[in-house]
Amino acid sequence: MVIDRRNFLLAGAGLGAIAAFGFWRPMGAVEAAEGDFPYKLSDDEWKAKLTPEAYDVLRHEGTERPFTSPLNDEHRAGTFACAGCDTPLFASETKFDSGTGWPSFYTFIEGGIGNSVDDSLFMTRTEVHCSNCGGHQGHVFEDGPQPTGLRYCINGVALKFLAA
């Protein structure tokens, strides 16, 4: 096959279509963590309670755009709680700037977080969710600071900050 402009553009368009199809996630395609969680609302109640962005993240495992959350710049003493059910998840003293564009923490408040395996996007990751309502928070990675070496990379719309 001769690589001319036409073939190059056709190949690029084909790869773009495959990538878009492979990464596209229709609303409702993925639900919040499965399980029997203490805090329960109907889907209509979740929609009424949350902003559209928070609903997508918490109930359908969406991801907010990086560097868009005001919580990236939140440095006061306090607690970061689940935006869905107010469960305390992260203490402010465990927050650090990971440079990723999402609020990051090196550990969580005991009992606040659960996890599950996430095999989407052609990789295996550890998804973290609120242990009270099952709302998707983000993912945990093993590239964080000491003392844990973990980085809980959390969607800002999935959190609310409660000042001390």
Residuewise pLDDT in 10s, the chain (164 residues): 556 666 555 555 554 443 443 333 333 334 455 678 999 999 999 999 999 999 999 999 999 999 999 999 999 999 999 999 999 999 999 999 999 999 999 999 999 999 887 777 677 889 999 999 999 999 999 999 999 999 999 999 999 999 99
Give the model's pLDDT for residue 142: 94
Question: Residue 57: its pLDDT value, please?
Answer: 97
Tell me, which fold does domain 5-163 have in CATH? 2.170.150
Q: Of the residues 85, 130, 133, 153, which is catalytic?
A: 153
- Check residue 117 and give its pLDDT: 79
Active site annotation includes 153 = yes
- The Cα diameter of the chain in Å comes to 66
Residue-level pLDDT at 116: 82
Boundaries of every domain in the chain: 5-163
Strand partners, 117: 126
Name, in order, each residue with C-beta under 8 angstroms of 95's C-beta and a sequence gap of 6 or more.
74, 75, 80, 103, 104, 105
